[in-house]
A = this chain, B = another copy of it.
Amino acid sequence: MKKVGVSILGLGVVGGGTYRILESHREFFRATQNIDVTVECVLEPNAEKTGALGVPAEKVASNIAEIVANPDVNIIVETIGGVGVAREYVLAALNAGKTVVTSNKELYCKFSHELEHTAKRQNAGLFFEATCVGGVPIVRTLLDGLQANKISSFMGIINGTTNFILTEMAKGTSYADALAEAKKLGYTEADPSADVDGLDASYKLSILSSLAFHTKVPLSKVFREGISSVSVEDIRHGAELGYVLKLLAVGKQTEEGIEVRVHPAFLRKEHPLAAVNGCFNAVYLKGDAAGDMMMYGRGAGDLPTASAIVSDIIYAATHSEYRYSTFKNTEKEEKGVTFIDDFSSAYYVRLSVEDRSGMLAKIGSVLGKAGISINEVVQCGADEENRATVVLVTHETHEYAIRNAVSKLEASIAKVKSVLRVAL
């Protein structure tokens, strides 16, 4: 039976989960995979963490050099996060010919070219299933399950924290209270900006769209808007029109180019993604052969993410040759590849207008001149200042067109309270 030695760098939530699975499932992997996987050592300066997991003192390494020099270590798991020491350690591991398994989406998003180049040169494996959508094997599926397909588009709910917050807000909880609840439950960091500003989702979108469209999609090309200015009022108006608000990551490839964006968006409540609630994640994609497909599951958490890491470890241990990405893994985008920023969408617009006759006609006229037609419109009763709320949903139009039209409305007859995209 093949022996496989693992070292885990960083025993936080995900590293700890990985340690626990490897310890508890050793017999299971011997029986089902014909491999004997052991944790040879860990790198974790916090003795409380190693103690809580029961890591024997002799398995706690003092530095990365000791680990990469250890001939019993075949696979190094990086669950430190960030692009500081994590990058340094991963490069050291790869340069020593060790296979690396990482859950670090920022690192893989920003430095996949450097890591992959180093891995190839040393004939080492580089695995990153755990960077995207937790326990759901979406990376494996894109690499090894849907290769027959030209993927034209996908939409995902790929950040659990924001989906939890939006799910709470759909019940009427304010943004601030929902965010506080997410912090209390440990779903987000003390500084939640990477989640709520859509950065975490953007890292994942960059990775997934590079795989789906077979070309490097750098982070800088991802249009990004977070959820911090989303209001319960908009969620309620949307619900009345049959929509659910989600933080969507959208990737599309058309003849005009590639479009990648993370922003809150209304989905028709019948859409399979609309029912993805709380910490769950899902990716809905369209392949030219497979048709519509969705993968749904736990997008974060200790064991779900560790499931991805350990499955990568097993994959690495049971394959003696490694494949890398199916695109030219460059630092920036490949030459000749176009990215689209004036994407098309439908839009939800909430306006505050004076409560007098003819206002809807005027709004319609401003939009009409911009080439935008209205699909649905609702006017709500006036408030004490004699202002009425108008909520409208447009037909398909373009991002720049709506921005222009909205400025014109703002300059003439309406206060623009919010503009949200509606997924088509």
Interface of A with B (CB < 8 Å)? 17, 21, 25, 28-29, 31-33, 129, 134-137, 140-141, 144-150, 214, 272, 275, 280, 287-298, 301, 303-304, 306-311, 313-315, 318-321, 323, 326-327
Separation of A156 and B17 alpha carbons in the complex (Å): 28
Contact A33 B147 (CB under 8 A): yes
A and B contact pairs by CB, cutoff 8 A, 7 listed: A17-B289, A25-B150, A31-B214, A137-B145, A290-B298, A291-B304, A293-B295
- Rounded to whole Å, the gap between the CB of A194 and the closest CB of chain B is 23
Q: Which 9 A-B pairs have the closest CB atoms?
A: A137-B145, A135-B290, A148-B310, A289-B307, A293-B297, A290-B307, A294-B296, A147-B314, A291-B298
Which of B28, B31, B148, B327 meets A306, CB within 8 Å? Answer: B148
Which residues of chain B have C-beta atoms less than 8 A from A148's C-beta? 21, 25, 306-311, 313-314
Contact B293 A135 (CB under 8 A): yes
Separation of A148 and B135 alpha carbons in the complex (Å): 10
Separation of A144 and B307 alpha carbons in the complex (Å): 12
On whether A149 and B307 interact (CB within 8 A), knowing A140-B144, A144-B144, the answer reads yes
Contact B272 A289 (CB under 8 A): no
Separation of A308 and B145 alpha carbons in the complex (Å): 7
Contact A321 B323 (CB under 8 A): no
12 extra interface residue pairs, beta carbon distance < 8 Å, beyond A294-B296, A318-B323, A321-B321: A135-B291, A137-B144, A137-B145, A137-B146, A140-B145, A141-B141, A141-B145, A148-B308, A148-B310, A291-B303, A319-B319, A320-B321
Among residues of B, the one whose C-beta sits closest to the C-beta of A135 is B290
Among residues of B, the one whose C-beta sits closest to the C-beta of A326 is B32
Which residues of chain B have C-beta atoms less than 8 A from A303's C-beta? 288-291
Copies of this polypeptide in the complex: 2
Contact B137 A141 (CB under 8 A): yes
Separation of A327 and B34 alpha carbons in the complex (Å): 10
Which of B17, B25, B147, B326 meets A311, CB within 8 Å? Answer: B147
Contact A287 B135 (CB under 8 A): yes
Contact A295 B295 (CB under 8 A): yes
Separation of A32 and B327 alpha carbons in the complex (Å): 7
Among residues of B, the one whose C-beta sits closest to the C-beta of A289 is B307
- Rounded to whole Å, the gap between the CB of A360 and the closest CB of chain B is 36
Among residues of B, the one whose C-beta sits closest to the C-beta of A285 is B297
On whether A290 and B275 interact (CB within 8 A), knowing A214-B32, A311-B148, the answer reads no
Which residues of chain B have C-beta atoms less than 8 A from A327's C-beta? 32
Which of B25, B275, B297 meets A275, CB within 8 Å? Answer: B275
Which residues of chain B have C-beta atoms less than 8 A from A33's C-beta? 147, 326
Contact B293 A294 (CB under 8 A): no
- Rounded to whole Å, the gap between the CB of A288 and the closest CB of chain B is 8
Which residues of chain B have C-beta atoms less than 8 A from A135's C-beta? 146, 287, 289-291, 293
Which residues of chain B have C-beta atoms less than 8 A from A25's C-beta? 148, 150
Which residues of chain B have C-beta atoms less than 8 A from A307's C-beta? 146, 148-149, 287, 289-290
Most buried by B among A21, A148, A292, A327: A148
Separation of A327 and B33 alpha carbons in the complex (Å): 9
Contact A290 B296 (CB under 8 A): no
- Rounded to whole Å, the gap between the CB of A263 and the closest CB of chain B is 24
- Rounded to whole Å, the gap between the CB of A102 and the closest CB of chain B is 16
- Rounded to whole Å, the gap between the CB of A275 and the closest CB of chain B is 7
Which residues of chain B have C-beta atoms less than 8 A from A214's C-beta? 31-32
Contact A147 B293 (CB under 8 A): no
Which residues of chain B have C-beta atoms less than 8 A from A298's C-beta? 290-293
Which residues of chain B have C-beta atoms less than 8 A from A272's C-beta? 275, 296
Separation of A315 and B320 alpha carbons in the complex (Å): 15
Which of B146, B291, B293, B304 meets A290, CB within 8 Å? Answer: B304
Contact A297 B292 (CB under 8 A): yes
Which residues of chain B have C-beta atoms less than 8 A from A141's C-beta? 137, 140-141, 145
